Structure 1
Amino acid sequence: MQIYKVGGAVRDRLLGRPVTDIDWVVVGATTEEMLAKGFRPVGADFPVFLHPKSGEEYALARTERKSGRGYGGFTFHASPEVTLEEDLIRRDLTINAMAEDDQQNLTDPYHGQRDLEARLLRHVSPAFAEDPLRVLRVARFAARYAGLGFTVAPETLALMRQLSESGELEALTAERSWKEIARALMEDQPQVFIQVLRECGALKVLMPEVDALFGVPQPEAHHPEIDTGVHTLSVLEQAAQHKQPLTVRWACLLHDLGKGLTPEEEWPRHIAHEHKGLKLIKAVNVRFKAPKDCQELALLVGEYHTHGHRALELKPSTLLELLQSFDVYRRPQRFEEFIAACEMDARGRKGLEQQSYPQADYLRGAATAARSVAVQPLLEKGFKGPELGEAIKRERLKALKAYKDAASA
């Protein structure tokens, strides 16, 4: 029995990056031997075991063969005869197909170290094209390592294009796709994930609503970058630079989908794109079964982001409606995330990345003013039921008028 550290742990050590998860592969062992040593089995499809003390995953060396469609369409074979090289060749990228023993002796049959030095994401074997999930994975790695100068090898991009055109991407489950998308959006440069998907034709298959934004112009006075797709990438880039959470990043990606529906004769204006985009945002949310908080924020940002930008001009009654829509009294965090998404949208414009966004503090102040209205005095005056609701609304409107007057003074 020989045990090797494999994959990401080896790659990141060689890159000088922190190693978080460690995967181990066991060569020359049987399931019975692993159980005898106290390992606990967890793998349903193939033999994976948890170490009795560390809890880390140890997998028996295995080979795989394509047997159906999609990510799960594989038959695995694990036995003591499977070599380390045979186990490594089934992996996606050469930089993920290296192994080292306990002395840090490197096994690198597919030249992963060479590709690390060349800053290339290159597939290990033609079998790469058998697994559609790898299109998303490679785009995610491109987003993670873009800052180090990594790019996708042309021949790998060609295989990704082949997969995108094959219809295999449609076989991916919503859950698997979302897992990759969510991880990619939280990388240092999530805009690269979208760019790579677009370059290989996968964006058109997975998110045609986002793909449709490229080539759609916006008024240059407000958007010096002009192209709506380019703007969306810039907004996503700003969200990452400002360390925004997943909810905000997802909303940033989808906020302008309505502009893809504007007839060409109306370009570069996009009248009512906020409302037109809602059905598209819903469709993308449902397609990937995005978590509820991501879905809700994306829809609210899609509908109200222009309100955010015009906050200083809004009438107190409109401001109150905006606050009610977000339920700022019970869910203050969601409104804070809306403000963040609006600010990223404003900063995601060529040459305006450092511009201040006074709307943010103004909206926070408005929320505080509305929340400051006390309910108890109204109860003491005898208001109840619908009348109480109306009375609270009147007081909040009064508070917002006073707030607006003070801010304007």
Structure 2
Amino acid sequence: MDIFSVGGAVRDELLGLPVKDRDHVVVGSTPEEMVALGYRPVGKDFPVFLHPQTHEEYALARTERKTGKGYKGFQVHASPDVTLEEDLARRDLTINAIAQDQAGKLIDPYHGVADIEAKQLRHVSAAFSEDPVRILRAARFAARFTEFTVANETMLLMRRMVNEGEVDALVPERVWQELAKGLMESRPSRMFDVLRECGALQRIFPELDRLFGVPQTAKYHPEIDTGIHIMMVIDYAASQGFSLPVRFAALTHDLGKGTTPAEILPRHIGHEERGMDLLKDVVKRLRVPNDCKELAQVVARFHGKVHQVNEMRPDTVLRFLLETDAIRQPQRFRDFLAACEADARGRTNFEQQDLPHFQCLLEVLNVVMQVDAGAIAAAQKNPADIKDAVFDARVDAIKQNFDFASKTIKT
């Protein structure tokens, strides 16, 4: 049998990037032979094995035949007579269809090296159209390799796939998986740009797609277009290395602006409430994990209110902390502020905006959390008085430690 390194490891080495995982294709072998050599089988849909020492993946060379709609409608054929070129032909993009033998020689039947040099994301063959996940993957690679562009013929093919309904067959888990990976790339806006250009965004995330072209007040949003603002927000979040929940919250915080009545534009009165309703549909449809869902809901509801802290009385600040559940979940509140920071700085000419009230809120939260609620509760003769007593003690702590004349913590 012959063993080849394939896919991302070869591509990343050619790009001068660190290699995280190395995958291999085995030509001329059988499952029985692999097991006899000590490889551990792990593949469910086709023969994949883990190396007994390195635990890297080794897959038998295989071909695929389309049997139905969606990305699961495939019949896989793996046997010793499948060639390396046949195996590489089923891959998505030419830059991922380069192999390297054990002597270091490149095998590049589909000109992936040339596309790396030309910075092109190009499909290997017409078989690309058989798997709608490849649209999402191409968009995700555009977000990772920010200097690469999708080849014209590949974009045309992706548009045809969308028009033929292939994208509609995607299962929610796979859509979320690819979107989440794309959000964690260095420039996630490029993923959504590609999905918009081919028409896929309107099918998989219409609530986001409809934000493009919706105007905002130029005084606060010189970029005007709400969709452009969202792209600036998620790119800022990426530039700061924020977590996936923060990036998803940044992506979805303004969904309500897509349903603002035309007669009140460019103002967006009540968009937070409308956005909450839309977000409920999104997280349910895409089966978004709880940590991402819960933070996104808090940000969608309160991202506007956070900027009003300088106008709040001590009791109002405390109620805001209680509404956002900051006292019970201080880390989530920090994530909430991170998403709001991305929102504030993801605007034209506001990229370096000073946000002292964010740090002020964290300091107020710290003061509030020093109040011994348990001791106060124990001192109350009537249990019905506990809630108000704790609230009053926290307000007093804010007053004692917070200078509302200068809006700063007393030192």
- In structure 2, the CA distance between the partners of 1:406 and 1:370, relative to structure 1 (3 Å rule), is farther
SS of the residue corresponding to residue 49 of structure 1 reads strand
Matched, 1:103 2:103: yes
Number of the residue aligned with 1:245: 243
Number of the residue aligned with 1:70: 70
CA distance in 2, matches of 1:268, 1:386: 47
CA distance in 2, matches of 1:386, 1:368: 26
Deviation at 1:357, TM superposition (A): 1.1
> How many aligned positions are there?
407
Aligned pairs for 1:2-401 within 5 A = 2-146=2-146, 149-383=147-381, 385-401=383-399
Deviation at 1:319, TM superposition (A): 1.8
Whether the aligned pair in 2 keeps the contact of 1:316 and 1:404 (CA below 8 Å) is no
Q: Gapped runs of 5+ residues in structure 2?
A: none
Deviation at 1:103, TM superposition (A): 1.3
Q: Which amino acid aligns with 2:264?
A: E
Deviation at 1:42, TM superposition (A): 1.0
Q: Which amino acid aligns with 1:128?
A: F
- In structure 2, the CA distance between the partners of 1:372 and 1:126, relative to structure 1 (3 Å rule), is same
SS of the residue corresponding to residue 355 of structure 1 reads coil
CA distance in 2, matches of 1:319, 1:187: 35
CA distance in 1, matches of 2:272, 2:101: 56
Whether the aligned pair in 2 keeps the contact of 1:339 and 1:363 (CA below 8 Å) is no
- In structure 2, the CA distance between the partners of 1:383 and 1:221, relative to structure 1 (3 Å rule), is farther
CA distance in 2, matches of 1:182, 1:326: 24
Whether the aligned pair in 2 keeps the contact of 1:307 and 1:314 (CA below 8 Å) is no
Deviation per residue, 1:204-239 (Å, 9 max, x gap): 011100011000000000001000000000000100
Answer with 179-188 or 318-327: which moved more.
318-327
Answer with 376-385 or 352-361: which moved more.
376-385
Deviation at 1:162, TM superposition (A): 1.4
Q: Which amino acid aligns with 2:106?
A: L
- In structure 2, the CA distance between the partners of 1:383 and 1:69, relative to structure 1 (3 Å rule), is farther
CA distance in 2, matches of 1:337, 1:67: 45
Q: Which amino acid aligns with 1:96?
A: N
Indicate the percent of aligned positions where both proteins have the same amino acid: 54
Deviation per residue, 1:359-384 (Å, 9 max, x gap): 21111122112212222442453345
Deviation at 1:404, TM superposition (A): 5.0
CA distance in 2, matches of 1:386, 1:379: 10
- In structure 2, the CA distance between the partners of 1:353 and 1:258, relative to structure 1 (3 Å rule), is same
Q: Which amino acid aligns with 2:145?
A: Y
The CA RMSD over aligned residues, in Å, is 1.3
CA distance in 2, matches of 1:34, 1:381: 71
SS of the residue corresponding to residue 404 of structure 2 reads helix
- In structure 2, the CA distance between the partners of 1:41 and 1:376, relative to structure 1 (3 Å rule), is closer
Deviation per residue, 1:102-156 (Å, 9 max, x gap): 111000000000000000000000110110000110000000001xx11100111
CA distance in 2, matches of 1:386, 1:17: 62
- In structure 2, the CA distance between the partners of 1:405 and 1:51, relative to structure 1 (3 Å rule), is same
CA distance in 2, matches of 1:73, 1:163: 15
Answer with 110-119 or 301-310: which moved more.
301-310
Whether the aligned pair in 2 keeps the contact of 1:383 and 1:391 (CA below 8 Å) is no
Whether the aligned pair in 1 keeps the contact of 2:5 and 2:100 (CA below 8 Å) is yes
What's the TM-score once normalised by structure 1's chain length?
0.97
CA distance in 1, matches of 2:270, 2:312: 17
Answer with 199-208 or 313-322: which moved more.
313-322
Deviation per residue, 1:331-370 (Å, 9 max, x gap): 1100000011111101000011012111211111221122
SS of the residue corresponding to residue 68 of structure 1 reads coil
Q: Which amino acid aligns with 2:404?
A: D
Deviation at 1:394, TM superposition (A): 1.5
Deviation at 1:176, TM superposition (A): 1.2
CA distance in 2, matches of 1:101, 1:125: 23
Deviation per residue, 1:23-76 (Å, 9 max, x gap): 100001111111111111111111111111111110000000001111111000
Q: Gapped runs of 5+ residues in structure 1?
A: none
What's the TM-score once normalised by structure 2's chain length?
0.96
CA distance in 2, matches of 1:408, 1:42: 59
- In structure 2, the CA distance between the partners of 1:367 and 1:78, relative to structure 1 (3 Å rule), is same
Answer with 154-163 or 396-405: which moved more.
396-405
Matched, 1:405 2:404: yes
Deviation per residue, 1:247-282 (Å, 9 max, x gap): 000000000001001011111000011111101111
Deviation per residue, 1:298-346 (Å, 9 max, x gap): 0100000001122212233332222112322221100000011111101
Whether the aligned pair in 2 keeps the contact of 1:46 and 1:76 (CA below 8 Å) is yes
